[in-house]
Structure 1
Amino acid sequence: MQAGEVSAQAPLIAILAGEDSGDQLGADLIVALRQRYPQARFVGIGGTRMQAQGFESWYEIHELSLFGFSEVIRHLPRLLRLRKALMARLLAARPAVVVGIDAPDFNLGVEQRLKQAGLLTVHYVSPSVWAWREKRAEKIGRSARRVLCLFPMEPAIYARHGIDARFVGHPLADRFALVSDRTGARDVLQLPQQAPVLAVLPGSRLSELTRLGQIFIDAAAQVAAAIPGLRIVIPAANPQVRARLRELLAKGPRDEAAPLLLDGHAHEAMLAADVVLLASGTATLEAMLAKRPMVVGYRVTPMSYRIARAMKMLKTDIYSLPNILARACGLGDERLVPELMQDDCNAANLAAATLALFRDSERRSHIVAAFEQLHQALRGGMDGQAGDRAAAAIAELMDQRDAG
């Protein structure tokens, strides 16, 4: 037995997580895997949540927290050095399994090399093969022995390419109640129960705020001018984002109509709102699970947009997760969520779409009912939590290898 190889009862398990969402998935996974392997040791790349569960992080998680073509290109030399050092360390340690969580631009290359070297690899969180070119599924299959999917429509796509993929459910679906509590959320945020409330989430990265922050704040101001007594809440993901938002808000009113800037509390802000105005991304899924009508806007960097258009990389005409899920789950082609992308993402358009939702209570009720159906679909009618099901799918592979 080599130095890194340990018994089936005390396996070495490597996890490579990128970004804050990956850190949470990793932490849940560690808890669930430790129930099966109490003596397991967990190593790799992870954040504070994973480390709180006894994870040994070899590198800082923020080193993988990049977004868009231009950011990856700018940091490519550093990423290549990190990948080389990481693979050497993993090949020396020979863990029982390597689980790459999201961060596909980094993790899939690492997983492919490790799989070729005989290590068992799993990719947790399928890249968006339903939005980008489906042929990517074949590349993912070359990297991972099994793919763990958060959305119910994904395994069928992989099956068309002969790849083992399992729907384990989305962890966010476990964290939101099927019936949302707006009253409780408003009490937490000290908001009047009868006031109209708009939650604004222009992004969790400083780069997103550079592109979207002023546009979203200007749109919110236009909505406030049209709706008497409107309360606006803006949750900040971290201190850096809060500081940047404070700079943007300093140009606006300082009276009762001024937006309420929050430290975190994004879930409470969504639950408390009548309508949510937000940037495209995972936050749209959170707003859907909070059962809140929303307007989605987004702009990528001009370079990323030109590359995507030139390479014809997008295969979908819809962008927000609620709309994609609605189509995949058989709710029809109706767009539950207004989407304003790239040049269409401006303050006037965002404000108009948001006002339309505030003024149409019947439409809001229809959207809430559809979101309740989608919440059930993300749970998949399965027992347990998503982390437990992911751990079971990983443990099954490990046991099969031990048996072989």
Structure 2
Amino acid sequence: MTLLYIAAGEASGDILGARLIAALRARDASLDFAGIGGERMAEQGFVSLFDIRQLALMGVAEVLPSILRLKRRMEETVADITARRPRLIITIDSPGFTLRLAARVRHLGIPVIHYVAPQVWAWRPGRVKKIAQRVDRILALLPFEAPIFEAAGIPVDFVGHPILESEAAHGVAERAPGEGRRLIIMPGSRRGEVKRLLPIFAESLKRLPADIHPIIGLAGTVEETVRARAAEWGRPVSMVRSPQDKADAFAAARAGLIKSGTSSLEAAVAGLPHVIAYTFNPVSNFIIRRLFRLKYASLVNLLLDEPVVPEFLLPHCEPVRISAGLTRLFEEDEAVARQREGFARALARLRPEHGLPSEAAADAVLRQL
């Protein structure tokens, strides 16, 4: 068997890893896999070295208390790779962990592919030089990323955005929980972010009419935390966990309140008008405001260079602003139509030249082998 070592650091990377494993096995049944993954990769028979939730951290204040644990997990992973000697290492997103891992095992001479290009176009462009020393190839999700990394001497394959394979576009509204006007709430998959965002989202919800029924999309990494916090909201709340249940909720909802990130693109694929909101703790906010280089955080807005999706970020992540943005989506058909037209234009730019994104990624991996 040819062993490929895959290291994913959070829920979104777990989904990418699962689809990549399936696409690779469809092409070459002799491949075997080891590394770090979550429940979606486990569905493919993947056995993770440790629980992926231990890596799902974001922001300075969340990472610092966990430094010793993260260091132990890094040492454990390096030792595992050294013992197994895979033919290829595939690191997926989570550059804070995965690119450090790539640096630690570079001396072994094993080729490294990094799946999901680090967002050097958004902040810290100087990272490109270090990345070039750590990886042999990048699989990029966005069409404008290839020239940035190729200029630093890193081969790049634009494989398309995996959101195009999401179940989100195939929901059935009649199967969704709740009645009346429904609002999808997607608070994230990291413990720190859901603890920060859920109180803000709860206050935003209080400012909306009582007939609006909230449906929360759960991530396995933080499900217990979300359920406990939502139980204190004082109003009926539905929960959806599986990809298909989330797709059904997307189909039934009028609007979405979504943390910045992949969930926003899922909403776009489903044609669900939404606002995005995100904030860090005060220390991380201070740092991010000085390092972030872009006009927009939403990929839809970024691809189109126009504010299709309302953004409430950092100091503007406030209930009064968020609720006002949601009210427009519930009350104004024109605002809904404008977003859906923008979604179509943005998503067209995320398609690979041939096939599905996971298939394009698998082909790139096999070429590297």
Compute the TM-score of the two structures, normalised by the length of structure 1: 0.84
Q: Tell me the distance in 2 between the aligned counterparts of 1:206 and 1:58.
A: 21
Question: Does the 8 Å contact 1:200/1:278 carry over to 2?
Answer: yes
Task: Say if 1:212 and 1:52 are closer, same or farther in 2 by CA, change over 3 A.
Answer: closer
Q: What's 1:280 paired with?
A: 260
Q: What's 1:189 paired with?
A: 176
Q: What's 1:235 paired with?
A: 217
SS at match of 1:233: strand
* Deviation, structure 1 residue 190: 4.9
Corresponding pairs, count: 365
Question: Does the 8 Å contact 1:41/1:55 carry over to 2?
Answer: no
User: Residue 95 of structure 1 is aligned with which of 74, 78, 86?
Assistant: 86
User: 5+ unaligned residues in a row in structure 2: which ranges?
Assistant: none
Question: Does the 8 Å contact 2:58/2:190 carry over to 1?
Answer: no
1:319 to 2:291 alignment: no
Question: Does the 8 Å contact 2:62/2:192 carry over to 1?
Answer: no
Question: Does the 8 Å contact 2:279/2:313 carry over to 1?
Answer: yes
What's the CA shift string for 1:301-356, capped at 9, x where partnerless? 112122334xx3211121122212222xxxxxx20111111222111111111112
User: Residue 35 of structure 2 is aligned with which of 35, 44, 49?
Assistant: 44
What's the CA shift string for 1:23-45, capped at 9, x where partnerless? 22112111222233322221111
Q: Tell me the distance in 1 between the aligned counterparts of 2:130 and 2:247.
A: 35
Task: Say if 1:191 and 1:52 are closer, same or farther in 2 by CA, change over 3 A.
Answer: closer
Q: Tell me the distance in 2 between the aligned counterparts of 1:263 and 1:90.
A: 33
* Deviation, structure 1 residue 247: 2.9
User: Residue 113 of structure 2 is aligned with which of 122, 129, 134?
Assistant: 122
Which portions of structure 1, spanning 4 or more consecutive aligned residues, are displaced by more than 4 angstroms? none
Q: What's 1:198 paired with?
A: 183
What's the CA shift string for 1:207-255, capped at 9, x where partnerless? 2232221221221221215xxx433323333440342233331xx34xx
Q: Tell me the distance in 1 between the aligned counterparts of 2:338 and 2:325.
A: 16
1:44-63 matched pairs, under 5 angstroms: 44-63=35-54
Question: Does the 8 Å contact 2:57/2:192 carry over to 1?
Answer: no
Q: Tell me the distance in 1 between the aligned counterparts of 2:49 and 2:164.
A: 31
What's the CA shift string for 1:140-176, capped at 9, x where partnerless? 2211100111122211221232221111111221225
The code of the aligned residue for 2:187 comes to P
1:90-169 matched pairs, under 5 angstroms: 90-169=81-160
Q: What's 1:354 paired with?
A: 326
Task: Say if 1:394 and 1:282 are closer, same or farther in 2 by CA, change over 3 A.
Answer: same
What's the CA shift string for 1:50-90, capped at 9, x where partnerless? 23323342222222222222222211122222222322331
Question: Does the 8 Å contact 1:200/1:220 carry over to 2?
Answer: no
User: Residue 314 of structure 2 is aligned with which of 342, 349, 357?
Assistant: 342
The code of the aligned residue for 2:260 comes to S
The code of the aligned residue for 1:305 comes to N
Q: Tell me the distance in 1 between the aligned counterparts of 2:300 and 2:280.
A: 20
Q: Tell me the distance in 1 between the aligned counterparts of 2:176 and 2:366.
A: 42
Compute the RMSD of aligned alpha carbons: 2.2
Q: Tell me the distance in 2 between the aligned counterparts of 1:261 and 1:92.
A: 42
Question: Which of the two has higher C-alpha Rg?
Answer: 1
1:383 to 2:354 alignment: yes
Q: What's 1:3 paired with?
A: none
Q: Tell me the distance in 2 between the aligned counterparts of 1:233 and 1:46.
A: 27
Task: Say if 1:259 and 1:224 are closer, same or farther in 2 by CA, change over 3 A.
Answer: farther
Q: Tell me the distance in 2 between the aligned counterparts of 1:261 and 1:118.
A: 46
1:297-308 matched pairs, under 5 angstroms: 297-308=277-288
Task: Say if 1:114 and 1:236 are closer, same or farther in 2 by CA, change over 3 A.
Answer: closer
User: Residue 20 of structure 2 is aligned with which of 22, 29, 39?
Assistant: 29
Task: Say if 1:163 and 1:307 are closer, same or farther in 2 by CA, change over 3 A.
Answer: same
Question: Does the 8 Å contact 2:174/2:248 carry over to 1?
Answer: no
Question: Does the 8 Å contact 1:126/1:150 carry over to 2?
Answer: yes
SS at match of 1:223: coil
* Deviation, structure 1 residue 191: 5.0
Question: Does the 8 Å contact 1:276/1:295 carry over to 2?
Answer: yes
1:293 to 2:273 alignment: yes
User: Residue 4 of structure 2 is aligned with which of 8, 13, 29?
Assistant: 13
The code of the aligned residue for 1:216 comes to F
Compute the TM-score of the two structures, normalised by the length of structure 2: 0.91
The code of the aligned residue for 1:290 comes to A
Q: What's 1:215 paired with?
A: 200
Q: Tell me the distance in 1 between the aligned counterparts of 2:196 and 2:39.
A: 29
The code of the aligned residue for 1:114 comes to V
Task: Say if 1:366 and 1:176 are closer, same or farther in 2 by CA, change over 3 A.
Answer: farther
Q: Tell me the distance in 2 between the aligned counterparts of 1:237 and 1:117.
A: 35
User: 5+ unaligned residues in a row in structure 1: which ranges?
Assistant: 1-9, 328-333, 399-404
User: Residue 363 of structure 1 is aligned with which of 323, 335, 338?
Assistant: 335
SS at match of 2:208: helix
Q: Tell me the distance in 1 between the aligned counterparts of 2:50 and 2:215.
A: 35
The code of the aligned residue for 1:233 comes to I
1:246 to 2:230 alignment: yes
Task: Say if 1:200 and 1:132 are closer, same or farther in 2 by CA, change over 3 A.
Answer: same
Q: Tell me the distance in 2 between the aligned counterparts of 1:235 and 1:88.
A: 36
